[in-house]
Amino acid sequence: MSMWTSLEPAAITVDPGSVASVGLRVRNTGDTVEEYRLRPAGDAAGWTRVEPEVLRLYPGAEGTAQVAFAPPRTSDAVAGPTPFGIRVEPAEHPEIRDVVEGQITVGPFAELRCELVPLSVRGRWRAKAAVAVDNLGNQPLTVSLSGRENGDALTVEPEPTSVQVAPGRAAFVQLAIRPGTVSWIGGTGKHPFTVSVQRAGAPEPIDLRGTYIQPSVLPRWAMAVCSLLVVAALAFVALWFNAQPKVSTSAREKPAPAGSKLPQEDKKPAPPPAPKPSEQPPEPDPEKKQPEDTGGKDEDPAAQTIRSNAGGGWYLQANRGAQVDGTQIGQNPEWTGDQFGRNQWWIIHRYPEDNTVALEPSSAPGSVAELKADTNEVQLWTADPEQLKSGKLPPQQKWRLVDAGDGRTRIVNMRNDECLTDLQNDKGALSWGCSDGPNEQQDWKISEGP
């Protein structure tokens, strides 16, 4: 038994998003009726179709099938030549199956997507942001970045200034943002900045715009308090020196006559005068409850550690102790101590009114863990001081602690009612649908130390 196969043509070119086809001829050179199953093989099999998929041929007969190629306009169809194959499998005699091979060349296309993360950054002396560069095309791209149109107010420096991104991959370029001058007094200033992303071969760059928020080193209220203290100190000094009267007298003691004796005084002390009726101290009422001395005031919540129940107990942390908005909240299997500014210590603000809490990292006072908008990613963000004190925070910044038994706690976000989940990596934590039973990645232990 035998068969004969042929591709016409054996090589073809097609652009992504288009369709091209070749003919596959099969001849039955045996002496019995045979069915031939036709199936694509190789890297192009995902976007290759054969019609018909089965050829039934009599002895000496020949049949033709069309092989259509429809590469998608995505990075899955890499630009350049790609070998393909069509398996021809006889049903009656599978031992003589064959693979007809050819080559298809996919045309290139370029598509780039850039995003500034986050759009707003905050810092007195400096701040950091990042540019996410996604290559949605089917060929490698070289991209260069630069900060422009920022004047003397800001210096924006990409690190590195150029990057090559493979098809279907993403690269992150860090941005170092420094103000031209330090704002010592005067509140908070906002400075817009622009980052230019230029793809090699593209006529125009892509401009990404963000905002740098620069708080002053000394807030206005601090200066007002200092001024009042200086005025009070000067007034106190003036009153102190003016209140010391100088008294002088010319009187002298007259000497007594010779031989005279001074009258003797009675040495017995006189009894103290009896108090008037109105001055008698009131007797305590035995039925009236006397106020108790509390002996102090409420203390601020102590810093605690939050560890998952998975992988030996990973620590929840503000990654690398960064303080800018948008910093990822991640996990670390190691205890880093104070290496990153107590970024693994958390201050848990509790609000009994609605049984919720806010999670403030010790490395970034005034910031809390929140869900990033339209995602389930957990990030660091500056909270309104009054809202942090009163508990009237937006739902993405508030969490509910649920007892999971055995000393474990579920941490549930109030925006999407999902549980904080340990991903066992140092990149970022997510909120995820809470499981019904025990879940080591969603069960956390809150304690006073590592």
Distance of CA 384 to the CA centre of its chain: 18
Of residues 428, 392, 429, 394, the one with CA closest to residue 411: 429
pLDDT given at position 240:
82
pLDDT band at 39, cuts 50/70/90?
very high
SS3 76: coil
Contact 310, 441 (CB under 8 A): yes
Is residue 299 predicted with pLDDT exceeding 70?
Answer: no
Per residue in 261-273, pLDDT tens? Answer: 444 444 444 444 4
Per residue in 189-228, pLDDT tens? Answer: 888 889 999 999 888 899 999 898 888 776 666 666 777 8
pLDDT given at position 450:
82
Of residues 194, 100, 110, 99, the one with CA closest to residue 150: 194
Is residue 149 predicted with pLDDT exceeding 70?
Answer: no
pLDDT given at position 270:
45
**The 170-179 sheet, strands edge to edge:** 112-117, 127-135, 170-179, 154-159
Of residues 235, 231, 211, 212, the one with CA closest to residue 223: 231
| CA distances (Å), origin 354, targets 37, 398, 414, 449 | 67, 10, 11, 27
Angstrom distance (rounded) from CA 198 to CA 178? 22
pLDDT given at position 260:
44
Angstrom distance (rounded) from CA 318 to CA 336? 12
Burial group, residue 236, by CB count within 10 angstroms (0-12, 13-18, 19+)? exposed
pLDDT band at 57, cuts 50/70/90?
very high
pLDDT given at position 282:
46
Is residue 286 predicted with pLDDT exceeding 90?
Answer: no
pLDDT given at position 221:
62
pLDDT band at 418, cuts 50/70/90?
very high
Per residue in 222-262, pLDDT tens? Answer: 666 777 888 888 888 888 877 655 544 444 444 444 444 44
The residues, any chain, with a CB within 8 Å of residue 424's CB and separated by 6 or more, are: 310, 311, 314, 331, 441
Instruction: Name the token pair of 242.
Output: 């003016």
Place of tokens 């033709």: 64
Please report, rounded to a whole number, the percentage of residues in the chain having pLDDT higher than 90.
Answer: 52
Per residue in 356-393, pLDDT tens? Answer: 999 999 999 999 999 999 898 999 999 999 999 999 99
pLDDT given at position 243:
65
pLDDT given at position 251:
45
Sign of the torsion angle spanned by Cα atoms 370, 374, 376, 379: negative
- The secondary element (H helix, E strand) that includes residue 347 is strand 346-351
pLDDT given at position 256:
45
SS3 2: coil
Contact 407, 399 (CB under 8 A): no
pLDDT given at position 426:
63
Q: Write the DSSP string, 260-287.
A: --PPPPP-SPPPPPPPPGGGSPPPPPTT
Per residue in 124-147, pLDDT tens? Answer: 888 899 999 999 999 999 999 988
Q: What is the dihedral angle through the alpha carbons of 91, 95, 96, 100, rounded to the nearest 10 degrees?
A: 80
Is residue 399 predicted with pLDDT exceeding 90?
Answer: yes
One-letter amino acid for residue 379 of the chain: Q
pLDDT given at position 172:
92
Angstrom distance (rounded) from CA 83 to CA 103? 4
pLDDT given at position 46:
92
Contact 167, 73 (CB under 8 A): no
Contact 38, 88 (CB under 8 A): yes
